[in-house]
Structure 1
Amino acid sequence: MSRRELIDPEVRVPLDQLLEAMPGGFNSVPDIVQRRATVEAMLSGIEVPDNPNVSKDDRTIPGPEGEPDVTVRVYRPVNATGPLPGIFFIHGGGMILGSVEGEDATATLICDQTNALVVSVEYRLSPEHPHPAPVEDCYAGLVWMAKNAAELGFDPDRLAIYGASAGGGLTIATALLARDRGGPALKYMMPIYPMIDDTNTTASSDEIVDIGIWDRAGNIEAWAWYLGGRPADQYAAPTRAEDLSGLPPAFIDVGTVDLFRDEDIAFAQRLMAAGVPTELHVHPGSYHAAETFAADAALSQRIWAMRLDALRRALA
């Protein structure tokens, strides 16, 4: 049986439309510059109405020592009063794609629905900038956010970190850096179907080969570009971390038809074994980023309801 047959019928509709327009999916475009342009063009075709409840402000902040400055986008609830919770947001894209603008709608949604100050970071991408450039950019952004809590208007004792896919892997890696470098303190982390294992040896990695969204071949290619020919450490591939103690409480979700399923379940189990309070959800019939491609589907609505509820509870 093809794994595609296990996909929830409602969320499968836009995936079939994607594959009809682009046989083989995004990874069928071999040139990375052209692939990025193709993805950006498809995302720009999705109309997202402005949200009057959220203001946005782009800023340039110091990057890692000796490296270029970093751009961040600050999202603020318009009618908020008092110190807000804060969420540091890291976009996805397999370490090779994606942007702040491409996940503007998601960051806006989270800001609006959690009444939190959100800072989204524009980190450098591979293969032009392999590890550790992306995670160091993320860490620099987190440090800046925490240091400027008073000016930004959020409570540094209620600071969470969120990211999906590559952003999920970078969420965990940045939390590891914060732990190992003595801060900033994080109250919560939400790595969504995180990309964390460079070995590609799990059962789900072998299974997901024909979905059209982040299949095995594309994952192997992305990891090769991200590592740049060097071995992975725990800040590149968090499954390699030997000690997970001291990380913030976590929420992880992943679909049953997602290549990252098994590495994410195993990591959640290791977090629990290390004494890290961890909430894990595995969604039957969901493929990688299904809730983004089929935002109006019942499955997608359930997924988002769980995430937003968890963020509100954690940051209350």
Structure 2
Amino acid sequence: MAQHTQAARNGKRKAPDSGHPESSLQGCSYPLRLSILKNALTAAEKKAGEYFLGNPEAAYLSITEVAQTSSLGYGTIIRFCQKMGCAGFQDFKVLLAQELGAAGRAGKAEQPDSVSAHTEKMRSDLRNTVNLLDRKALKKIAASMVRARFVLVAGIAGSAALAHGFNYRLSRVGIYSAACTEGYPMAIRAATLKKGDVFFGMSFSGATKDLVNAAQIAKREKATVVALTGFIKSPLGEVANETLVGVSDRDPFSCEIFSNVPRDFVLDLLFAEICGICPKADELIQKTFEAISDRRI
């Protein structure tokens, strides 16, 4: 027991298993990790997250000093560090120290213009999205859509445009699908799904009530449920058979507006995977192109 307690105080625990989503956080900043994992944290762990966010100088404190100044328990600190993708507190302190160094360099550097700053933000979001991409899930989802009798693509508000856009792409390779962007029709369409069909729900928060309700109905009807969200864990993700994540490292008030870029990137990757395994993809894209070619000026 004493050895166990001492190990906890030193922050030396087994690193997260590679099969866990947290293990793919390499390269993600601490604020981003805290954002995309917030739904996976307990109340005490969220308190730890806020403490470290407001006190990055904790990188130079011992775990005992952090426990004393924050009123957090040793176990809470260790569990929080592991959920952030770190082996323990010592590993987490390295992450915090890197954040302090980056903040210092940013303060000394010449501030870029808005276009350059936004471009770099998009690059960062895409890099983080690739780091978190579950490639096995991507392949499974593509295969299930190619095999499906019908794919219902669902998204509300900010995700509606994504739903319509992806539905259009599916139609170009002959996959029978429809986009639905309103709650009542979405629930009705979900109730008509069958085993072998796919319900593809898109929501940045993963907590849109009408979308989660429709996903639950589709799951009850034995359809495969796929989620595309901005968080590793969410109510929609809990229902889904497979989840894809598009990361946006922004404040909570603007991230939903800007989040479509990384999520659309994930949809590009998914569609490319579909085209790679759909036996007549090239032929159907050419055929559908010819069907609308005379509509162009």
Q: Scaled by the length of structure 2, what TM-score is found?
A: 0.34
Structure with bigger strand share is 1
Pair member with larger Rg: 2
Structure with bigger helix share is 2
